[in-house]
């Protein structure tokens, strides 16, 4: 039986798994020997050389048990933690290489919940793997003891065990499949739960919406529970079946066999104690199976997510730190030449086409992109900045086509504040920034009494939406990139700030050599731009 879980630990960790499993198996053997030797020792109270030998063996078995357990648990936990840390790091690094479209499609869908939930399950599963193995080893030792004490009973137990095992294995595989189905449903539940948290204000204000969401959440939770419920039921059935069959066996041994086979009466006590001795590990093993099935499903889910992210990377190699020389710091012009992009819906139908565009922006320009809502301004920016690869045509930097292999470096030209900007907790990548410079910008933006900059972060970010947008603007400016893109940064700011933004801040940025591209609806300030680019229905019209 091939276990994806064991394969996962083996593949993802440097620590060899075999010695860990071996140590746990030996620990199980040690436990079995301790119990068997105690049984043998109890047979006679006389001090004989035989009893002394048993005592020595008992101490050795105890050492085997304790030593094996320590080695196995320490090694096992270390291997599973290392494996998970490696997979989490790999997945997050690969996600950074994935297409923006893929992340946009799944951002609110709960698709990334396996990273949190499944990794926890896999971490916990190591304990179940090890104790399951220990139970099997213990079962094997007790069987040997039984074979020695009562070969007939051993034969009977082996027969029963052989008849039971295929059913347990079949159920184990079925449980793995059903747990995966349940995980998918759970992802949908967490997706909706994320929406609830983000849209909490709206939900709070509207009873009908709140009730509908509640009903949807309950339905999704129930759908996730249904397959898991079946798995749980079957595991209880399995447990009942495997222990029940042993009780039947006991019944046969104690009440039936002696009637037909009188000599069996002499060994009945021994047989009885060894069968009872076997029941513990077997029951323990049966209880670990559902947990292992869940972890197997979690591994499959995690690798499926990785394959999906990998596909969204389109064969791009894992990113190594970009050499500073690869980052274009100086340019003369960037442009779109016949470049177009489109969105599709779930059925693959095109829902919006941006382009084809002919556009060139020169170094030092202050350009405004204008147009109605949904005209395609943000999409054009994503195309221009290399966040979306053109589906047709090309993006050029100083006349050179930007290829898949140079797109990462090309993107380094830009710092951007999008309309749906995100403020990270720390100013990642700005560790060397001059604190006095940050303070100066906080003053310029009228935020000096609202927050401070310390230890690589703004001390207080629970500000109004527009104040947060000003912080995002500061971060973009501090990045000091050749091109700064500001998507509707000023649209909802107060009139005085808006005036300063268009009349003072933008010219200041241009004066220090930054090319500035601004998306704006503020027609009162269109005169500030060197050039207007007007969009309508995804096309540049002027
Ligand atoms: N990630 C996306 N997936 C699918 N369709 C999208 C996506 N983003 C935008 N669209 C669609 O593309 C069209 C253009 O959107 P875009 O955001 O580029 O317009 P915009 O001019 O920036 O709008 P606004 O002024 O309202 O911000 C819209 O019809 C929108 O529904």
C-beta 377 within 6 A of ligand 1: yes
Mutation choice for ligand 1 from 344, 374, 385, 521, CB with most ligand atoms inside 8 A: 374
Specify the CATH number for 4-311; select among 1.20.210.10, 3.40.50.300, 1.20.1440.130, 1.20.1560.10.
Answer: 1.20.1560.10
**Nearest residue to 294 (alpha-carbon basis) of 236, 242, 238, 227:** 227
Cα distance between residue 431 and residue 438, in whole Å: 12
**Nearest residue to 7 (alpha-carbon basis) of 257, 295, 287, 347:** 295
pLDDT of residue 268 exceeding 80, the answer is no
Per-residue pLDDT band at 60 (split at 50, 70, 90): very high
Nearest CA to ligand 1 atom 27: 373
Query: What pLDDT does residue 462 have?
Result: 86
Query: What pLDDT does residue 115 have?
Result: 75
C-beta 237 within 6 A of ligand 1: no
Specify the CATH number for 324-540; select among 1.10.1040.10, 3.20.20.70, 3.10.20.30, 3.40.50.300.
Answer: 3.40.50.300
pLDDT of residue 409 exceeding 80, the answer is yes
pLDDT of residue 322 exceeding 60, the answer is no
Query: What pLDDT does residue 148 have?
Result: 82
pTM for this model (two decimals): 0.73
Token pair listed for 28 = 């199980």
**Nearest residue to 355 (alpha-carbon basis) of 399, 390, 389, 396:** 390
Cα distance between residue 167 and residue 183, in whole Å: 24
Kindly state the percentage of the chain with pLDDT values over 70.
Answer: 95
Alpha helices (H) in 205-263, listed in sequence order? 207-251, 257-260
Q: Which of 25-29, 247-251, 409-413, 538-542 has the lowest mean pLDDT?
A: 247-251
- Segments making up each domain of the chain, as ranges: 4-311, 324-540
- Residues near 471 by beta carbon (within 8 Å), at least 6 away in sequence: 423, 445, 447, 451, 458, 461, 463
Query: What pLDDT does residue 317 have?
Result: 65
Query: What pLDDT does residue 316 have?
Result: 65
Distance 384 CA to ligand 1 centre (A): 15
The tens digit of pLDDT for each residue in 228-258 reads: 777 778 778 877 877 787 788 778 877 887 7
The tens digit of pLDDT for each residue in 333-376 reads: 999 999 999 999 888 899 999 989 999 999 999 999 999 999 99
Query: Does residue 523 have a cis peptide bond before it, meaning omega lies within 30 degrees of 0?
Result: no
Kindly state the percentage of the chain with pLDDT values over 90.
Answer: 36
Per-residue pLDDT band at 509 (split at 50, 70, 90): very high
Distance 375 CA to ligand 1 centre (A): 7
Same fold, 4-311 and 324-540: no
Per-residue pLDDT band at 401 (split at 50, 70, 90): very high
Q: Which of 302-316, 323-337, 364-378, 397-411 has the lowest mean pLDDT?
A: 323-337
Q: Which of 51-60, 106-115, 445-454 has the lowest mean pLDDT?
A: 106-115
């Amino acid at each position: 039986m091939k276990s994806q879980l064991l394969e996962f630990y083996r593949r993802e960790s440097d620590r060899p798994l075999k010695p860990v499993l071996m140590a746990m198996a030996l620990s199980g053997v040690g436990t079995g020997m301790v119990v068997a030797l105690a049984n043998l020792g109890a047979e006679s109270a006389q001090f004989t050389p035989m009893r002394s030998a048993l005592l020595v063996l008992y101490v050795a078995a105890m050492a085997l048990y304790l030593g094996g357990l320590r080695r196995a648990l320490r090694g096992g936990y270390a291997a599973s933690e290392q494996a998970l840390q490696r997979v989490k790091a790999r997945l997050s690094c690969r996600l950074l290489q994935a297409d923006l479209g893929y992340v946009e499609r799944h951002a609110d869908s709960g698709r990334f919940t396996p990273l949190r939930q499944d990794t926890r399950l896999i971490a916990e599963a190591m304990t179940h793997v090890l104790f399951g193995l220990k139970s099997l080893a213990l079962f094997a030792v007790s069987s040997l003891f039984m074979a020695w004490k009562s070969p007939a009973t051993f034969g009977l137990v082996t027969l029963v065990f052989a008849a039971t095992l295929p059913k347990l294995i079949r159920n184990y595989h079925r449980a793995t499949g059903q747990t995966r189905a349940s995980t998918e449903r759970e992802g949908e539940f967490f997706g909706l739960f994320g929406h609830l948290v983000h849209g909490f204000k709206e939900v709070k204000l509207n009873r009908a919406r709140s009730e509908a969401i509640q009903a949807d959440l309950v339905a999704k939770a129930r759908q996730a529970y249904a397959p898991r419920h079946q798995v749980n039921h079957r595991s209880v059935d399995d447990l009942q079946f495997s222990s029940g069959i042993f009780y039947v066996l006991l019944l046969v041994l104690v009440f039936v066999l002696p009637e037909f086979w009188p000599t069996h009466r002499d060994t009945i006590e021994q047989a009885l104690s060894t069968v009872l001795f076997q029941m513990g590990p077997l029951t323990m093993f049966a209880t670990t199976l559902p947990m292992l099935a869940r972890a197997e499903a979690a591994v499959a889910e995690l690798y499926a997510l990785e394959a999906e992210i990998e596909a969204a990377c389109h064969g791009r190699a894992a990113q190594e730190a970009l050499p500073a020389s690869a980052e274009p710091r100086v340019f003369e012009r960037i442009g779109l030449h016949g470049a177009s992009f489109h969105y599709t819906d779930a059925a693959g139908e095109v829902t919006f086409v941006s382009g084809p565009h002919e556009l060139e922006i020169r170094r030092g320009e202050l350009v405004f992109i204008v147009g109605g809502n949904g005209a395609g301004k943000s999409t054009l920016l994503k195309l221009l900045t290399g966040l979306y690869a053109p589906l047709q045509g090309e993006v050029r930097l100083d006349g050179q086509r930007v290829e898949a292999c140079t797109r990462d470096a090309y993107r380094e030209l830009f710092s951007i504040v999008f309309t749906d900007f995100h403020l990270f907790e720390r100013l990642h990548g700005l560790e060397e920034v001059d604190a006095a410079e940050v303070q100066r910008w906080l003053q310029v933006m009228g935020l000096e009494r609202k927050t401070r900059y310390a230890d690589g972060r703004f001390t207080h970010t629970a500000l109004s939406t527009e104040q947060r947008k000003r912080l995002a603007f500061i971060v973009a400016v501090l990045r000091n990139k050749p091109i700064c893109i500001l998507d509707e940064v000023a649209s909802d700011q107060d009139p005085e700030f808006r005036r300063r933004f268009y009349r003072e801040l933008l010219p200041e940025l241009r004066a220090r050599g930054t090319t500035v591209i601004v998306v704006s609806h503020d027609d009162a300030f269109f005169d500030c731009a060197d050039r207007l680019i007007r969009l309508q229905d995804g096309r540049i019209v002027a």
